[in-house]
Structure 1
Amino acid sequence: MTQVAQQTIAAAELPERGQPLAGGIFVTRYWLNGEERALVLLDDELSGAWGEYGVKIARADSYSAGEANTRAMAEAGSEIAIKALGLGAHIPSCLEGQLVMAAKSDGLVTLREDRWHWMSTQYSADLAYGMDFEDGWLYLYDKDNERVVRPVRSLPIQ
């Protein structure tokens, strides 16, 4: 069942980084495609394969636009992408993952350090990016490997 999530936020209503917002923790403000946005990390944790090894998914290779990547993944049948969208969220892109890592480094969020997390950014038909939140490494993994996902929301700031 799809959750109805907050769609936008006024700049004056933004809390301090690390505080609750839109069902998660406010990570930071950032710019995406010329629009200022608020990145929110959810507490939900998903697990599964990114997709099918050897199958390139069109429009799932943006380094910055995690929601667009996740939608393309879901259209191709990715179970973790469908679950993330069902939460009113998406799988972070590489950029969004790095912003989450910065918030972790600042002590604002807690993330698992014992497993690599999928990012929504695809590298090739065989590989997609994963991130180690112990030290922030981005690496490429076979898309059929099982990894953890911490979904995020990205709210336009008005």
Structure 2
Amino acid sequence: MQLPENIHADTLPAIGADLAGGKLVTLYMLAGAEFALIDLGTASEIHGAWGEYGQEVETTHGDGEKNTRAMAEAGSAIAIQALEAGAFIPAALECHLLMHAKETGVIEDLREDLFYWSSSQCSAYGAYPMDFDDGWQSYDAKIVERPVRLVRKIPVIR
């Protein structure tokens, strides 16, 4: 799917409306820029290990797109799948934004019985998964297989 380069604030649909192959869940600021966060839903979820145990990958807690690209360069199969789908694995911050969207009824299909991977690493051996039952983030070995909720973001122009 060809994503728009940006979207003007005047043309943004309402939160919860369809946008770029998914559902607009929120607007958020990242490094001084505003973005529309789009959840691709259950049908686009993938599953797998985060990456190689013991391999350091430079990630942040905020930018899932940048993290996913770094993971893919390091050989992560789930990151490569995400990018091939025109999406990325949400960072820890973006997982919390998905949790808020769940709490407010914007997203209704996040599973509560397991943890989803974020793209944020905590060490060369572990990364942060998110529990969408109560919003708890933990850490786990990168070799553990977990589901991944795919998202997109579009810069917002005001």
Is residue 74 of structure 2 the alignment partner of residue 76 of structure 1? yes
What SS does the aligned partner of 1:117 have?
A: strand
Q: How many pairs does the alignment contain?
A: 154
User: CA–CA distance in 1 between the matches of 2:54 and 2:72?
Assistant: 17
In structure 1, the gaps of 5 or more residues are none
Q: 1:2-17 counterparts in 2 under 5 A?
A: 3-17=1-15
> Which residue pairs with 1:25 in the alignment?
23
The letter of the residue matching 1:48 is G
> Which residue pairs with 2:102 in the alignment?
104
> Which residue pairs with 2:156 in the alignment?
157
The letter of the residue matching 1:81 is A
The letter of the residue matching 1:52 is E
What SS does the aligned partner of 2:70 have?
A: helix
- The offset of 1:86, in angstroms, is 0.9
For each residue in 1:99-130, what CA deviation from the matched residue of structure 2 results, as whole angstroms up to 9, or x when unmatched?
01000000111211122100000000111000
- The offset of 1:7, in angstroms, is 3.0
Is residue 121 of structure 2 the alignment partner of residue 122 of structure 1? yes
User: CA–CA distance in 2 between the matches of 1:19 and 1:142?
Assistant: 36
The letter of the residue matching 1:76 is A
Is residue 156 of structure 2 the alignment partner of residue 146 of structure 1? no
- The offset of 1:46, in angstroms, is 0.5
What SS does the aligned partner of 1:69 have?
A: helix
> Which residue pairs with 2:46 in the alignment?
46
Report percent identity of matched pairs: 51
What SS does the aligned partner of 1:12 have?
A: helix
The letter of the residue matching 2:53 is Y
> Which residue pairs with 1:136 in the alignment?
135
> Which residue pairs with 2:88 in the alignment?
90
What SS does the aligned partner of 2:133 have?
A: coil
What SS does the aligned partner of 2:94 have?
A: helix
What SS does the aligned partner of 1:157 have?
A: strand
Mean Cα displacement is larger for which, 6-15 or 145-154?
A: 6-15
Mean Cα displacement is larger for which, 13-22 or 69-78?
A: 13-22
User: CA–CA distance in 2 between the matches of 1:13 and 1:115?
Assistant: 36
Q: TM-score, normalised by structure 1?
A: 0.94
